[in-house]
């Protein structure tokens, strides 16, 4: 943040104070150690390449990562990116029953990451934490599903609609 030409030092100091106060409150930082961790994590993010930063931001979700967790996440991502997977083990696991012209190409396609569609790493190995969905009020969240087919009823119905209210589990 820089002081603008038409801004006095008092105005700049107030703007800086308000910006930092909002920044730390939005990140729920209330201690000196929290400020140090946040600054280290933000500085590390500034140094990351764009593709690694995008990966980190998808892993971060609602809460910000401390610098240690961030560093471990980046190391894990880089290790997976550097892991070169060959298509030979895949083709040797499943020999085709008959002559199959493009078996090597098809096997290489299966070795791609489901997130970024790149070969060389498998993002499935990276586990993200599951967070329970909080439900505070009745009928705030309702789960709906269709089950069937069943043997046809006298009225001609084969499927059933199931609705479950999340808080009480009432069906």
Give the pLDDT confidence of 81-103 residue by residue, as tens digits. 765 444 445 445 555 455 555 65
pLDDT of 108 higher than 60: no
Give the pLDDT confidence of 114-165 residue by residue, as tens digits. 556 655 555 445 556 677 777 778 888 888 989 989 899 999 999 999 998 8
The Cβ of residue 70 has, within 10 Å, a number of other Cβ atoms equal to 21
In angstroms, rounded to a whole number, what is the distance separating the alpha carbons of residues 171 and 164? 4
Query: Does the pTM of the predicted model rise above 0.75?
Result: no
Place of tokens 């505070």: 136
pLDDT of 79 higher than 80: no
HEC readout, the chain: CCCCCCCCHHHHHHHHHHHHHHHHHHCCCCCHHHHHHHHHHHHHHHHCCHHHHHHHHHHHCCCCCCHHHHHHHHHHHHHHHHCCCCCHHHHHHCCCCCCCCCHHHHHHHHCCCCCCCCCCCCHHHCCCCCCCCCCCCCCCCEEEEEECCCCCCCCCCCCEEEEEECCCCCC
């Amino acid at each position: 943040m820089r002081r603008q030409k038409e801004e006095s030092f008092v105005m700049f100091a107030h703007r800086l104070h308000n910006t930092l106060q909002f920044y730390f409150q939005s990140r729920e930082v209330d201690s000196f150690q929290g400020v140090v961790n946040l600054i280290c994590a933000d500085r590390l993010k500034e140094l990351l390449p764009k593709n690694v930063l995008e990966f980190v931001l998808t892993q971060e979700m609602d809460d910000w990562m401390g610098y240690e967790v961030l560093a471990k996440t980046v190391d894990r991502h880089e290790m997976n990116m550097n892991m070169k997977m060959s298509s030979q083990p895949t083709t040797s696991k499943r020999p085709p029953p008959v002559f199959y012209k493009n078996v090597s190409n098809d096997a290489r396609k299966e070795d791609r990451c489901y997130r970024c569609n790149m070969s060389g790493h498998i993002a499935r190995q990276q586990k993200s934490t599951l967070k329970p969905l909080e439900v505070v009020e009745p009928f705030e969240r309702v789960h709906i599903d269709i089950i069937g087919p069943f043997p046809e009823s006298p009225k001609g119905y084969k499927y059933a609609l199931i609705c479950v209210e999340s808080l009480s589990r009432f069906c």
